Structure 1
Amino acid sequence: MTSLDKPTEDTQAEDDARAVTEAALFEAFGGVRGMVETVLPGLLFVTIFTINKNLHWSAIAALAVAVVLVVVRLAVKDTVKHAFSGVFGVAFGVVFAMFTGNAKDFYLPGMLYTLGLALAYIITTLCGMPLIGLILGPVFKENLSWRTRNPGRKKAYAKASWAWGLILLAKCAILFPLYWWANTAQLGWVLVALKIPPFLLAVWLTWVFLAKAPAPIDVFAEMEAEEKAEEERKAALAAESGEPSGGRHRK
């Protein structure tokens, strides 16, 4: 290896790590399609309500488009977790608004969920189990190995969870006063405007922190290696004792 080869290999390894991180984040948070599925029902609700001030038509349209998004996912045999979460979120909003008769209450369940999620990110980080690590650990095939075996990665997950928690708290600090002071259309348009930018900022910060962190420990590969080593050990013992490697003759 020449003096020029090593930097090239290091750069390639860094690029590969970043590509893996990007792919994992894309899978975990749904990518562009997931963002569209998150925004579209609420956008349709506030658009129709702004035009005709009819709660029932606005709610039915929002729920219908959410169901259509799930059907499309099922039709193309794609993962439906993001679309299903959208349906449940819209359904809760519709039921709540219909029950109270206040169109603004369509947004309240989602706002409360955002507040709860923000607190979850912060509390789990303070307890040493940052939520973003629990979410992304299985995606990176590291499960919880980052907690005890990869301190640099745990630190990155903690930073990312703080970022998510504080960004979502800032979003709540804008939305909850508007829930009390603004009308339904004003609240709806602000909420739609705040759907994507805070999310993209949090994802970008997560990518920055993880791109600089140590590589994940693939615990699945370790388990496979251990199983293979155990099989080889048994085969070696069987060979020494003159028995078939399977240990038993099949009937």
Structure 2
Amino acid sequence: MTRQQDADGGRPDDGREPSASELVGAAIGGVARRAGIDPAEEATTGDVVWKAMGGVRGVLESILPSLVFVIVYTFWPRPLILSLGLSVGIAAVFTLVRLVQKSPPAAAMGGLLAAAAAAALALFSGQGRDNFVIGLVTNAVYGTAFLVSAVIGWSLIGLAAGFLMGEGTTWRQDRRKRRVFRWLALAWAALFFARLAVQLPLYLANETTLLGTLKLVMGLPLFAPLVAVTWLAARALYPARRV
């Protein structure tokens, strides 16, 4: 597979049908590339991390809806629709801005749909804590996926890097790359499971304000350093492949 394979996970250049691992690598690699995390590109670590977070707008989109919910819910827990409505309303404004600026529809709508689904769940149950259920499930799914990929020797980080660097799955023949990608996958699994380990007990204890606060604290502040480590490790593995 070469870097000319289409970024959407289409057929490799040799015309054969892509394997499941190549499709997964293409999907994850495409997401990483759109987020600015491509070890083949020349960029500083700071630039990569900042782009992965989405810049100023991405940071605001990640923080403001949850922050507004936590603040409003803390001082005015009832009616619940007030805090949820303001949170979803802010997400809707960001979505509208993206659509006006002709961002890809999926990127523009993803955050809004997630916020709306979480709010709908909380309104249905009448419990503010349920606004965070989708986040808890997401952490569990992502953590499990990264952990399993590391255990079976098909690191999701390796699959993405292999796609981005045009080597497909041949990185698995390199002991050093396998080891590094395995540890990176375990590091990402640890991040997601750490969030779950801290936040799930708070959810069960109905500590909604503290749950929302720690969700913010364990969000970008933990995500950014791990992006930097992943980027630096991947670049170290491909010093002669930079373009």
Q: How far apart, CA to CA, are the structure 1 residues paired with 2:186 and 2:44?
A: 19
Deviation, structure 1 residue 104 = 0.5
Corresponding residue of 2:113: 88
Q: Residues 155, 26 of structure 1: CA spacing in aligned structure 2 closer, same or farther, 3 A cutoff?
A: farther
Q: How far apart, CA to CA, are the structure 2 residues paired with 1:146 and 1:39?
A: 39
1:49 and 2:64 aligned: no
Q: How far apart, CA to CA, are the structure 2 residues paired with 1:18 and 1:156?
A: 20
1:197 and 2:190 aligned: no
| Residues 118-138 of structure 1: CA deviation (Å, up to 9, x unaligned) | 111111122222123344555
| Gap regions ≥5 residues in structure 2 | 1-38
What is the RMSD of the two structures over their aligned residues, measured on CA atoms? 3.0
Corresponding residue of 1:180: 204
The correspondence of residues 29-108 of structure 1 with structure 2, limited to 5 A, is 30-53=54-77, 54-79=79-104, 81-108=106-133
| Gap regions ≥5 residues in structure 1 | 1-15, 222-251
Deviation, structure 1 residue 58 = 1.2
Structure 1: which amino acid aligns with 2:93?
V
Larger Rg: 1
Structure 1 counterpart of 2:140, from 115, 139, 143: 115
Q: Residues 118, 126 of structure 1: CA spacing in aligned structure 2 closer, same or farther, 3 A cutoff?
A: same
Corresponding residue of 1:234: none
Q: Residues 148, 19 of structure 1: CA spacing in aligned structure 2 closer, same or farther, 3 A cutoff?
A: same
Q: 3-state DSSP class of the match of 1:129? A: coil
TM-score of the superposed pair, with normalisation by structure 2: 0.71
Aligned pair count?
Answer: 203
Q: Residues 92, 43 of structure 1: CA spacing in aligned structure 2 closer, same or farther, 3 A cutoff?
A: same
The percent identity for this pair of structures is 26
Q: How far apart, CA to CA, are the structure 2 residues paired with 1:80 and 1:143?
A: 30
Q: How far apart, CA to CA, are the structure 1 residues paired with 2:223 and 2:160?
A: 15
Structure 1: which amino acid aligns with 2:80?
L
Q: 3-state DSSP class of the match of 1:107? A: helix
Q: Residues 182, 134 of structure 1: CA spacing in aligned structure 2 closer, same or farther, 3 A cutoff?
A: same
TM-score of the superposed pair, with normalisation by structure 1: 0.69
1:133 and 2:167 aligned: no
* Greater share of residues in helix: 1
Deviation, structure 1 residue 72 = 0.9
Structure 1 counterpart of 2:188, from 164, 177, 181: 164
Q: Residues 21, 143 of structure 1: CA spacing in aligned structure 2 closer, same or farther, 3 A cutoff?
A: farther
